[in-house]
Amino acid sequence: VAEADWVHSSMQLDFDEDVAFKVKRKLREFARRRTARVHNGQGPVQERPFFVHASFTQPHDPYSGPQEFWDQYEDVEIDMPTIPFIPRDQRDHHSARVYDCMDNGDFDMTEERIRKARRAYYSMMSYVDSKIAEMLATLDQEGLRKDTLVIVLSDHGDMLGERGMWFKETFHERATRVPLFFHAEPELAQRLGLGSPREVPHNVSLIDLLPTFADLMCAPGEDWRAMLPAEVEGRSLLASLKGDFKSCECAQQDTIYCEYTSEMIPGGWFMVKKGDLKYVYSQHAPLLFDLKADPHEMVNVADNAEYREVATSLRRLAEAKWPDLPGLNDRILRSQRCRRMIHEAMMKGKRPAWDYQPMEDASRQYIRNTGESLQDLEYVCRAPYRGKRPEK
């Protein structure tokens, strides 16, 4: 945070530039397959639908904003956090532990540093917006936009100094509530029955995406559950996207679950959100926030007599979902011991790489001496396609 500033280049930028480039190239490949079918008299129908996942690292710490987009915020009043720094002794157990592990007062977080960090984050957001615009422009150029459902989402947010907290690692709204947009051009929206743009008023989770995708692929009358090889926790959002909240299981339950079993919290940390009520469950004292009455989550009402009944109900949901927290902690420690032993052994001798290695065959990417006419091949690969080549 203290190092936040603009950059010409970074590892994150290199990665994100590569993502955008490869996605746009892949979209052009799909379009060329269609063009080849038309050119050869086979018709424009694609052999199968495509699914492209464009995963950008930004916006994310470290806060290093690309200069072009950093400069867009010159002379712009960068807002300060709505909730100022909360001293450690006034924080809940988990927030205090995050403070101990990630901050501990080692840096003087001046107003200038906070504004620079937020400016860098905003510039990273603008950068990703520009990459999304590039991909949408490619869909338009290749004639694919009208048949493509575009979904924009994020895996987490960032506290950005709210309450004196940074990054994620918390169930506060700033870190947990993420954007989720579905967009279809009018013709596709009509085919899918999505109707006019709307906001879904109930709680949804990212685990609802897979069931929604499966539901979109179902024929009328088919159950999306029958398409999947095993039961999944998510629920389809398609009915809600169509505005039919009464028949949407997700809308009727209006309940989501989140869990955090990563850094800085022994035994895990869990959350149930039902309507506007958020219940945080762990081996420590529970937290309960009424987001309608207290959108900034300043008052823990878990022990408030007025909320006793709802707190009991949410606790039972949490206990049913995660029935054995002490046992979970034991399993985590046992797993860590096993993995540390394996890691120590694997670091000796030749070290294996478990990272996914995408295969790229340059011999098939560009114009090669494959026996095809260079002019014919290049003509089909151009966009836009302008019909058969003139014979004379």
Q: Is residue 385 over pLDDT 70? A: yes
Tokens representing 125 are 């957001």
Cα 268–Cα 212–Cα 252 angle in degrees, nearest 5: 75
pLDDT at 219 (0 to 100):
84
Q: Give the separation between CA 90 and CA 233, rounded to whole angstroms.
A: 36
| Cis peptide, bond prior to residue 384, ω within 30 of zero | yes
Total residue length of the chain: 392
Residues 86-103 as b or e (16 or more Cβ within 10 Å = b): beeeebbebbebbbeeeb
Contact, 324 vs 281, CB < 8 A? no
What average pLDDT does the segment 302-322 reach? 95
Q: Give the separation between CA 82 and CA 362, rounded to whole angstroms.
A: 51
Tens digit of each residue's pLDDT (9 = 90 or more) over 347-370:
998 888 888 888 888 877 777 666
How large is the greatest C-alpha to C-alpha distance in the chain, in angstroms?
88
One DSSP character per residue, 334-365 reads: HHHHHHHHHHHHHTSSSPP--S------GGGT
Cβ-based burial of 236 (10 A; exposed 0-12, middle 13-18, buried ≥19): buried
pLDDT at 46 (0 to 100):
58
Phi–psi pair at 34, nearest 5 degrees:
-65, -45
Q: Give the separation between CA 320 and CA 275, rounded to whole angstroms.
A: 19
Contact, 215 vs 249, CB < 8 A? no
Query: How far is the CA of 374 from the CAs of 331, 371, 377, in angstroms?
Result: 61, 8, 5
Q: Is residue 20 over pLDDT 90? A: yes
Grouping H, G, I as helix, E, B as strand and the rest as coil, residue 234 is coil
pLDDT tier for residue 47 given thresholds of 50, 70 and 90: low
Residue indicated by tokens 């999304």: 132
Q: Is residue 39 over pLDDT 90? A: no
Q: Give the separation between CA 62 and CA 98, rounded to whole angstroms.
A: 17
pLDDT at 274 (0 to 100):
96
What average pLDDT does the segment 299-308 reach? 95
Within a 13 Å sphere around the CA of 175, how many CA atoms are in the beta-carbon half?
A: 18
Q: Is residue 378 over pLDDT 90? A: no
Q: Give the separation between CA 7 and CA 304, rounded to whole angstroms.
A: 49
Q: Please state whether beta strands 255-260 and 180-183 pair in parallel, antiparallel, or not at all (unpaired).
A: unpaired
Q: Give the separation between CA 209 and CA 215, rounded to whole angstroms.
A: 10
Tens digit of each residue's pLDDT (9 = 90 or more) over 206-252:
999 999 999 998 888 889 999 889 999 999 999 999 988 888 888 88
**Any idea which of 143-147, 169-173, 387-391 has the lowest mean pLDDT?**
387-391
